[in-house]
Amino acid sequence: MKCIIYSRVSTTDQTTENQILQLREYAEKQGWEVIDVKTDICSGSKSADERVGLREVFELARRRKFDVLLFWSLDRLSREGTRKTLEYLSRLDNYKVKWHSYSEEYISSLGIFADAIISLMACLAKQERLRISDRTKAGLQRAISQGKVLGRPKRPDIDQQAVELRQQGYSFSRIANELNISKTHAYKLCQ
């Protein structure tokens, strides 16, 4: 199998050399041909689009230039949260590229438990989405309890203005521009 190694460290004070050395040895023991090594020196919370090495990995995967992605550990691949990490792994699966964590051998699409691991990670991602939603709702409730008014500012005169502009022959687009609202909102106000 053709293999790409992905390695990441957070700061320039750190080095990827130790990871890469062990990952190369592991790939060799598996009989994999390491065709490239991609590295990033940045926070794992940055998206793949913000990381040159990871972006290149996905581009090569999309073009099916390799069979397996080998990384040191899941947090070296991503620290963007379970949902985003699962998206990355699913993206690799969609490209028919396997993936394997060196230090967490159970996090792999190579073994018989691949489907179980992906299902578990999907459940964790769902829980993460629920927690984010709960935190957002709690923040909104706190803001309301402190007297903050949410939503668009109330403009009681806007209904009448929209109707008057429509009667003058204005299009919904022009009404929207004049009143600084969406075209859909302009349409609804004139009905």
What's 94's domain CATH number? 3.40.50.1390
- Torsions phi, psi for 42 (to 5 deg): -170, 175
> How far, rounded to the nearest angstrom, does the alpha carbon of residue 142 sit from its chain's CA centroid?
28
Indicate whether 136 belongs to any domain.
no
Tell whether 106 and 164 lie within a shared domain. Answer: no
Are the C-beta atoms of 137 and 164 separated by less than 8 Å? no
Domain check: are 76 and 167 in the same one? no
Write down the pLDDT at residue 113.
73
Q: Which pLDDT belongs to residue 153?
A: 67
**Could you please report the per-residue DSSP string of 146-170?**
TTPPPSSPP-TTHHHHHHHHHHTT-
Say what the pLDDT of residue 155 is. 74
Assigned domain for 139 exists: no
Domain count of the fold of the chain: 2
Model pLDDT, residue 5? 98
On whether both 99 and 19 belong to a single domain, the answer is: yes
Are 114 and 73 within one domain?
A: yes
pLDDT at residue number 158: 85
**49 neighbors 80 (Cβ within 8 angstroms):** no
151 inside domain: no
The DSSP string of 105-142 is TTSBSSSTTHHHHHHHHHHHHHHHHHHHHHHHHHHHHH
| pLDDT (0 to 100) of residue 191 | 84
Whether pTM > 0.85 for this model: the answer is no
Q: Give the residue numbers spanning the domain of 174.
A: 158-190
Instruction: Judge whether 144 lies within some domain.
Output: no
Are both 118 and 168 inside the same structural domain?
no
pLDDT tens column, 10-59? 888 888 999 999 999 999 999 999 999 999 998 877 888 899 999 999 99
- Same structural domain, 104 and 168: no
For residue 140, being part of any structural domain is answered with no
Inter-axis angle of helices 183-190 and 172-179, nearest 10:
110
Q: To which H or E segment does residue 38 belong?
A: strand 33-41
In this structure, the answer to whether residues 51 and 120 fall within a common structural domain is yes
Residue numbers in the chain where pLDDT is lower than 70: 118, 121-122, 124-126, 128-129, 152-154
Task: Please tell me the predicted confidence (pLDDT) of residue 119.
Answer: 73
